[in-house]
A and B are shown apart, each in its own frame.
Chain A
């Protein structure tokens, strides 16, 4: 029973403490680390949700006997360690809830992956048809596809090696200086190199599968941190040029898109100002001790729910079937 309570406490703490602990004051200084921290909080929470159902239903199902013989413990002892006063009703309900969440997660991941793959293929086919591959000396060795279009737009299409692309409209090319173009291309290439499409897909799948504020917040923060991580591909003087590129490409005609509306999730802002500020006024990078603390905590967050769920088993192992007390 303690396992179930501890898992619930873990979930509540994740929801309450994580947003404060993962504050922009340090995540913006170390975006890659920040992304990993948000990922581990959400993964830990999902693991806890899944295990909660298992832990509550275990005393009542045959799995407990199998599990007991697997770890060489007394089955009756094991079951009593996991039993809750609320009985089988709560157990079944919790297990059903856990299965629902995990099934929905799997469904969302598969559905979105297929939908995105279809759209990417369509984009890629059209790009291949009308785009022109450019490799200008000022951006050597960075390649990109240019499309003849006045609207200033730059984006990348993730995918496997030959099917990924960085795209620049002719309007964007005209709006940017060579240094700015170089910075923007480096940014897009960083997205492709770091598999940011996949990172975003997972974060959004979790947000859709688990309707809790923690997951919505995580998805929004990860989206911004992903951009900051890519911004860091620009070094030295190119960083201020990248900030200028942000202005040149973001202050275009008001072609309102659903995406721009969705990105205003962080306290009503688009996050673009935060990106520009950290490019123009770089903060000191995170010190080694803090980095290690974050990495250790991230690992701990994923391992802890598993440990909590396993503790009653460990306790059961210390006693034998006749209840004579700890063995030897």
Chain B
């Protein structure tokens, strides 16, 4: 399952990088620069993505062409929205390294670290 998952990611990146909807053959062409792939594999992946409403397809002549349904930026925004909306209430879906600190705590932390630096050369910018 993981294999297919990362293939979906690669295909999406190909579509995002393109200016226009692409046919299966065109996607295959780009991806074959890095590895060996079958036409049917790419077709399956695009079908899955279409089922998940991640790509839209239109008929151009006799071939289907595919384009991303949502921009890359919007996907990231959706992800960030989910991450920031996490509360500790209903189970732990993720663990953040650190929360936002109130201003007075930031000041105290800065003082603590400055006191440290006064004893050694500061190599960080």
Chain A contacts to B: CB under 8 angstroms: 111-113, 115-117, 119-120, 122-123, 125-131, 147-149, 151, 153-158, 162, 177, 180, 184, 187-188, 191, 196-198, 200-201, 204, 223, 226, 240, 243-247, 249-252, 254-260, 262-263, 269-270, 272-273, 276-277, 280
Instruction: For the complex formed, measure the closest distance between the CB of B17 and the CB atoms of chain A, giving whole angstroms.
Output: 13
> Is B89 in the interface zone, CB < 8 Å from A?
yes
Candidates A117, A254, A270; contact of B105 at CB < 8 Å: A270
Instruction: For the complex formed, measure the closest distance between the CB of B106 and the CB atoms of chain A, giving whole angstroms.
Output: 5
> Is B35 in the interface zone, CB < 8 Å from A?
no
In Å, the complex CA distance between A86 and B15 comes to: 75
Q: Which residue of B lies closest to A124 (CB)?
A: B5
Judge whether B99 and A130 touch: CB under 8 Å: no
Candidates A119, A256, A273, A280; contact of B93 at CB < 8 Å: A119
A120: B residues at CB distance < 8 A? 93-94
B94: A residues at CB distance < 8 A? 120, 123, 155-158
B124: A residues at CB distance < 8 A? 177, 180, 244
CB contact under 8 A between A116 and B90, given known A244-B124, A251-B106: yes
A128: B residues at CB distance < 8 A? 5-6, 8-9
> Is B76 in the interface zone, CB < 8 Å from A?
yes
CB contact under 8 A between A201 and B91, given known A153-B96, A280-B116: yes
CB contact under 8 A between A154 and B82, given known A162-B2, A272-B109, A280-B113: no
In Å, the complex CA distance between A117 and B90 comes to: 10
In Å, the complex CA distance between A257 and B94 comes to: 14
Interchain residue pairs with CB less than 8 A apart (5): A119-B91, A122-B82, A247-B106, A250-B99, A263-B88
CB contact under 8 A between A273 and B108, given known A129-B75, A130-B76, A148-B76: yes
Q: Which residue of B lies closest to A242 (CB)?
A: B97
In Å, the complex CA distance between A154 and B100 comes to: 12
Judge whether B101 and A155 touch: CB under 8 Å: no
In Å, the complex CA distance between A123 and B80 comes to: 9
> Is B85 in the interface zone, CB < 8 Å from A?
yes
CB contact under 8 A between A223 and B88, given known A155-B97, A162-B2: yes
Candidates B79, B80, B98; contact of A249 at CB < 8 Å: B98
Interface SS of chain A = helix
Judge whether B75 and A250 touch: CB under 8 Å: no
Q: Which residue of A lies closest to B6 (CB)?
A: A128
A250: B residues at CB distance < 8 A? 98-101, 106, 109
Q: Which residue of B lies closest to A113 (CB)?
A: B91
CB contact under 8 A between A116 and B101, given known A126-B79, A129-B9, A162-B2: no
Candidates A153, A184, A196, A247; contact of B110 at CB < 8 Å: A247
> Is B38 in the interface zone, CB < 8 Å from A?
no
Judge whether B93 and A260 touch: CB under 8 Å: no
In Å, the complex CA distance between A117 and B109 comes to: 35
